[in-house]
Amino acid sequence: MAVSVRTFPLRCFLVPRPQPTRSQSAPSPRLPLSSAPAPCRHKNQEDNHSYYVSRLYGPSEPRSRELWVDVAEANRSQVKIHTILSNTHRQASRVVLSFDFPFYGHLLRQITIATGGFIFMGDVIHRMLTATQYVAPLMANFNPGYSDNSTVVYFDNGTVFVVQWDHVYLQGWEDRGSFTFQAALHRDGRIVFGYKEIPMSVPEISSSQHPVKTGLSDAFMILNPSPDVPESRRRSIFEYHRIELDPSKITSMSAVEFTPLPTCLQHRSCDACMSSDLSFNCSWCHVLQRCSSGFDRYRQEWMDYGCAQEAEGRTCEDFQDEYHNSASPDTSFSPYDGDLTTTSSSLFIDSLTTEDDTKLNPYAGGDGLQNNLSPKTKGTPVHLGTIVGIVLAVLLVAAIILAGIYINGHPTSNAALFFIERRPHHWPAMKFRSHPDHSTYAEVEPSGHEKEGFMEAEQC
């Protein structure tokens, strides 16, 4: 059965980012609305970006070879050739990691691999896939379907997840040669870009048909509940941080290593949060039991519960006194149960979900799903929804059984012919479509043909 995936319009804006420390460079002139450090220039080979420290290793440095993960030498049971991505142009596919990967302080279990040389790190597939929330060793208009030798391979051994775009060609620039590069997501939060074959200067690559980027980006989503705002414009994506590498430094046998810096989200208590010496302006939200600068993927909850106002001029002792004065055996001021800081970034996505949303994170635990309930829905009787769901499920199963019995007994009926003609042969993927003013991903039926010689037992 094909999975229906719908997109919805989103607006993308830049928001003020954490103030840079003295070691950081001046604000970038390309992003006038941001106070973040300028894109990584690699003048000193190392740059501080508030959330990460990046270091470039040139072709002559031994470290660049040490960072390269030789997928060919890895355990074959842990290596998978993605046949859909390896045979098509401008498509993306979801993959589940075997470990929680910390990205900008958020723990992620799902990523989306794209043929365009990047990994989408967001929870919701949207039309601005290439704009924010990405890990891009070399985002460009690559077409793995051009050659039988081109593949998109990924490797997961429990401590590192590697995606390798192997011998891929640029659409319309095939005569310039093939590219081989990879992105490695380490369990400790490190991100490594490895470049084995870069046959041309990256600044020469045209961005007219597809964005060309190298670096990292993250964003949060905000829902405008105002009834005066049209439904199609209620969700907005705000990019709160971006790292842009100097494309002229991307050459064959070079590598870039991003080491994560501490964030406010790592603090699990008020005392640790308020005494933090990070460059971020960390504040403690007692109702959410969360430490944050207010600029992360939990921004929606931070605003909904008035955390910024709650923390103004207050100390941890004030919160403790308020708790002792208001707490009783029968009441609780917290709208959430459990540890919110350990759930994945699907928290803010689930709280914004409507029928138009594309995908949710089905890998959060039961407690995580319960924690995601908004204050308005927290009081809804659980047993009523359960009964309605069971009744609907029983009716649906009964209808399917009856339809199957009828079709089996009347193979030449119109209904039987209708389903036979439309039965899916392959799972759908997400295809990139270019438009004059934006780029979108939409559901397509892939061709499904495999390349010669690929005999992996666990192919996608």
Lowest mean pLDDT among 63-72, 145-154, 279-288, 321-330: 321-330
Q: What is the mean pLDDT of residues 237-251?
A: 94
pLDDT for the residue numbered 416 = 58
Q: What is the mean pLDDT of residues 257-272?
A: 95
Give the span between the Cα atoms of 5 and 440, in whole angstroms.
Answer: 12
Higher pLDDT, 146 or 409: 146
% of the chain at pLDDT higher than 90? 47
Residue 205 has pLDDT above 90, yes or no: yes
Task: Indicate the pLDDT class of residue 123, thresholds 50, 70 and 90.
Answer: confident
pLDDT for the residue numbered 340 = 31
Q: Which residues contact 449 (CB under 8 A, 6 or more apart)?
A: 87
Residue 108 β-bridge partners: 101
Q: What is the mean pLDDT of residues 233-259?
A: 93
Question: What does the buried/exposed string (b/e) look like for 151-174 if buried means 16 or more CB atoms within 10 Å of the residue's CB?
Answer: bbbbbbbeebbbbbbbbbbbbebe
Which two tokens mark 188?
A: 């400790």
pLDDT for the residue numbered 343 = 30
pLDDT for the residue numbered 417 = 57
Q: What is the mean pLDDT of residues 192-206?
A: 97
Q: What's the whole-number average pLDDT of the chain?
A: 74
The answer to whether 295 and 240 are in contact (CB under 8 A) is: yes
pLDDT for the residue numbered 442 = 37
> What's the per-residue H, E or C state across the chain?
CCCCCCCCCCEEEECCCCCCCCCCCCECCCCCCCCCECCCCCCCCEEECCCEEEEEECCCCHHHHHHCCCHHHCCHHHEEECHHHHCCCCEEEEEEEEEEEEECCEEEEEEEEECCCEEECCCCCCCCCCCCCEEEEEECCECHHHCCCCEEEEEECCCEEEEEEEEECECCCHHHCCEEEEEEEECCCCEEEEEEECCCCHHHCCCCCCCCEEEEEEEEEEECCCCCCCHHHCEEEEEEEEEECCHHHCCCCCEEEEEECCCHHHCCCHHHHHCCCCCCCCEEECCCCEEECCCCCCHHHHHHCCHHHHHCCCCHHHHHHHHHHHCECCECCCCCCCCHHHCECHHHHHCCCCCCCCCCCCCCCHHHHHHCCCCCCCCCCHHHHHHHHHHHHHHHHHHHHHHHHHHHHCCCCHHHHHHHHCCCCCCCEEEEEECCCCEEEEEECCCCCCCCCCCCCCCC
pLDDT for the residue numbered 372 = 34
pLDDT for the residue numbered 5 = 36
Task: Indicate the pLDDT class of residue 410, thresholds 50, 70 and 90.
Answer: low
CA distances 148 to 167, 234, 288, 460, Å, are 9, 44, 52, 17
pLDDT for the residue numbered 399 = 86
Residue 405 has pLDDT above 70, yes or no: yes
Higher pLDDT, 248 or 43: 248
pLDDT for the residue numbered 321 = 64
Tens digits of residue pLDDT in 28-42: 333 333 333 333 333
Higher pLDDT, 277 or 214: 214
Lowest mean pLDDT among 69-73, 96-100, 207-211, 384-388: 384-388
pLDDT for the residue numbered 411 = 59
Which two tokens mark 366?
A: 């039961």
Q: What is the mean pLDDT of residues 223-237?
A: 81
Higher pLDDT, 334 or 287: 287
Give the span between the Cα atoms of 136 and 212, in whole angstroms.
Answer: 9
Tens digits of residue pLDDT in 172-190: 999 999 999 999 999 999 9
Q: pTM of the full predicted structure? A: 0.66
Q: What is the mean pLDDT of residues 4-11?
A: 41
Higher pLDDT, 452 or 381: 381
Higher pLDDT, 57 or 331: 57
Q: What is the mean pLDDT of residues 214-231?
A: 88
